[in-house]
Amino acid sequence: MTLSKDEAQQILERLIFEATAPEDWVQDVWGLSPLLGDSAAKLYEAYRTLLDCCPPEKLENFVQSLLADHLDQS
């Protein structure tokens, strides 16, 4: 199965953030603790930067590997 970069990103976001939009997750963490919220915002920014600079085939391989692990654990 071949994944586009957008599909890979959507799968990653579902695996990481589950049913919450990433931006909402950052805001939720910020509401719990401003210090942790700042770290969550930096982590989300790093995640977005990695998605932008990761070659599509490597991103696809990574996502498929995560999916396989996730399915094995289910």
Residue type, 66: L
DSSP secondary structure letter of residue 20: S
pLDDT confidence of residue 47: 94
pLDDT confidence of residue 28: 95
| CB distance 12 to 67 below 8 Å | no
pLDDT over 70 percentage in the chain? 97
DSSP secondary structure letter of residue 21: -
Ordered alpha helix ranges (H), the chain: 5-17, 22-32, 34-53, 56-73
Q: What is the pLDDT of residues 29-64, one digit of tens each?
A: 999 999 999 999 999 999 999 999 999 999 999 999
